[in-house]
């Protein structure tokens, strides 16, 4: 089976870069796939990306060196399994607040006996290789987002669920849930304290940590803290900002 390059990067002690895809467009996904990112996330939650666009985007990414990840809209086993069958090498599940929710998600990512993922990979075999079923449990990444006050409270239990590979932080939702002004971003001290707690929980549990950033400075700071993966920007944000700047050329 094709190795998961994210696992390889981490094995060398380095953190990994991540780019966020929200446009339902296989061409833009392929373009970004050629720009040197360690991983790309096809965002089915807030991106306007339906099932078949997700599959098309994974197809486009398959001819690049970037590792394809999918964020599913919600913790629904059918959506998780379909993303994996289509060849995603990792799934990010939003809004996990409890150990039970985490277990349900992990189960949907793993074949028996570790979980209850149904057997029937299709593109996953084309991308991963003929031995996909035997090795998928050890290759694909199961990632949950802790991004609420309740999730923060339960982060130790969540982090300890067997089979979980990473906790990925959504700072905006977390800040809002903690009653903070989200416009402050990572500069908010209460938010940062929560982030530190989650990071510590991942270390205690021996799993990876990731976080959504909006610019390079924040990503660098998070790498300095010890995060294993940082998202730096997204296709729609780059396009909006770039087009706005260019429009003012006169």
Contact yes or no for 88/100 (Cβ under 8 A): no
Q: Is the preceding omega at residue 186 within 30 degrees of 0, hence cis?
A: no
Query: CB-wise, 11 or 130, nearer to its own copies?
Result: 130
User: Buried b vs exposed e over 12-50: b needs ≥16 C-beta within 10 Å?
Assistant: eeebbbbbbbbbbbbebbbebbeeebbbbbbbbbebebe
Asked if 72 interacts with its own copies (CB under 8 A), we say: yes
Query: CB-wise, 47 or 205, nearer to its own copies?
Result: 47
Choose which of 37, 89, 132, 168 interacts with its own copies (CB under 8 A). 37
Nearest in space to 81 (alpha carbons), one of 124, 128, 26: 124
Binding mask 144-173 for its own copies (x = CB under 8 A): ---xx---------------------x-xx
Q: How many Cα atoms sit within 13 Å of 151 on the Cβ side? A: 27
Binding mask 185-214 for its own copies (x = CB under 8 A): ------------------------------
Asked if 23 interacts with its own copies (CB under 8 A), we say: yes
Query: CB-wise, 14 or 204, nearer to its own copies?
Result: 14
Q: Which of residues 125-144 bind its own copies (CB under 8 A)?
A: 126-127, 133
Choose which of 11, 12, 13, 244 interacts with its own copies (CB under 8 A). 244
Asked if 223 interacts with its own copies (CB under 8 A), we say: yes
> Cα separation of 100 and 93, whole Å?
13
The encoded tokens of residue 6 equal 């994210």
């Amino acid at each position: 089976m094709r190795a998961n390059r994210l696992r390889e990067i981490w094995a060398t002690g380095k953190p990994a870069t991540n780019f966020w895809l929200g446009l339902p467009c296989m061409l833009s996904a392929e373009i970004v796939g050629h720009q040197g990112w360690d991983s790309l996330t096809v965002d089915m939650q807030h991106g306007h990306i339906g099932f078949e666009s997700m599959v098309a985007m994974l197809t486009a990414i398959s001819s690049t060196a970037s590792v394809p990840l999918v964020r599913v809209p919600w913790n629904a086993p059918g959506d998780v399994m379909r993303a994996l069958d289509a060849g995603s090498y990792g799934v990010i599940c939003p809004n996990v607040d409890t150990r039970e929710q985490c277990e349900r998600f992990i189960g949907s990512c793993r074949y028996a006996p570790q979980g209850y993922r149904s057997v029937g990979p299709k593109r996953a075999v084309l991308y991963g290789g003929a031995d996909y079923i035997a090795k998928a449990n050890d290759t694909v990444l199961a990632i949950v987002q802790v991004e609420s006050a309740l999730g923060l409270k339960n982060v130790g239990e969540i982090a300890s669920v067997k089979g979980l590979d990473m906790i990925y932080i959504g700072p905006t939702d977390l800040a809002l849930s903690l009653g903070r002004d989200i416009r402050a971003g990572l500069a908010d001290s209460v938010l940062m304290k929560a982030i530190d707690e989650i990071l510590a929980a991942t270390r205690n549990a021996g799993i990876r940590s990731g976080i959504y950033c909006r610019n390079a400075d924040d990503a660098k700071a998070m790498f300095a803290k010890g995060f294993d993966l940082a998202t730096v920007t997204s296709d729609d944000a780059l396009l909006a900002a770039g087009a706005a700047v260019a429009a003012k050329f006169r």
